[in-house]
Amino acid sequence: MKKIRPLFRWIVLLATLLLVTVYYLPIWSIQLWAPQYPEGLEMLIWINNLSGNVDVINDLNHYIGMGKINVDMFPEFGIMVYVLGFVIFFGVATFFVNKRFMLYLYSSLLIVAAVAALIDFYKWEYHYGHTLNPMAAIIIEGQSYQPPLLGYKVLLNFTALSIPSIGGWILFGSGFTLVFLSILELFKARKERKKNSYHG
């Protein structure tokens, strides 16, 4: 099995070590604006916590029967710390093992983790936006309040925006880089195989 290009190998290490910052930075941001909230409300999702105006959002949402958001409703918080740890471990291992197949496995792991996280997030959002208290003061026939997965969405008097926060951008940046490097390595490997078979 072939080694990774030296430059790529160091980029892998750098991108992986960058992921450590994700423990200390918010990953995702949900922002809300309304006529009464020109300054906006923000909820930040961290690797194992929530911050921002969560209480204010909860107080507002009880009118329409939405649940209270709290840390306990995300069992993911207990797992994500270890998942990220494993990802970083795998990245460092890739650097030391220095074999292409490790890089392929590493980027596949990242893709799977990212897709799983987005699906999980979507499912939570669906559940959160559709599970409404039938006793709520304001009930609008057929209206649900699922937040957007990515981008803007108008929910009654609020405009919601869902985007990665700085930790999220680092995850995307590192992940994208690693996947891109894998593809380049894949092309190189193919070329080498062709060359080898030609010569062979």
Radius of gyration for the alpha carbons in the chain, expressed in angstroms and rounded? 21
- Least distance from C-beta 63 to other proteins, angstroms? 7
Judge residue 95's burial from the number of C-beta atoms within 10 Å of its C-beta, 0-12 exposed, 13-18 middle, 19 or more buried. buried
Tell me if 135 contacts other proteins by CB under 8 A.
yes
- Least distance from C-beta 74 to other proteins, angstroms? 8
Tell me if 164 contacts other proteins by CB under 8 A.
no
Please pick, from the candidates 18, 25, 73, 161, the single residue that binds other proteins as defined by CB under 8 A.
73
Q: Which two tokens stand for residue 54?
A: 């969560």
Tell me if 63 contacts other proteins by CB under 8 A.
yes
CB 27 within 8 A of CB 59: no
d(C-alpha 15, C-alpha 150), whole Å: 24
φ, ψ of residue 65 in degrees (nearest 5): 85, 15
Tell me if 95 contacts other proteins by CB under 8 A.
no
Binding residues for other proteins (CB under 8 A): 53, 55-56, 58-59, 62-63, 65-68, 72-73, 75, 124, 127-128, 131-133, 135, 137-138
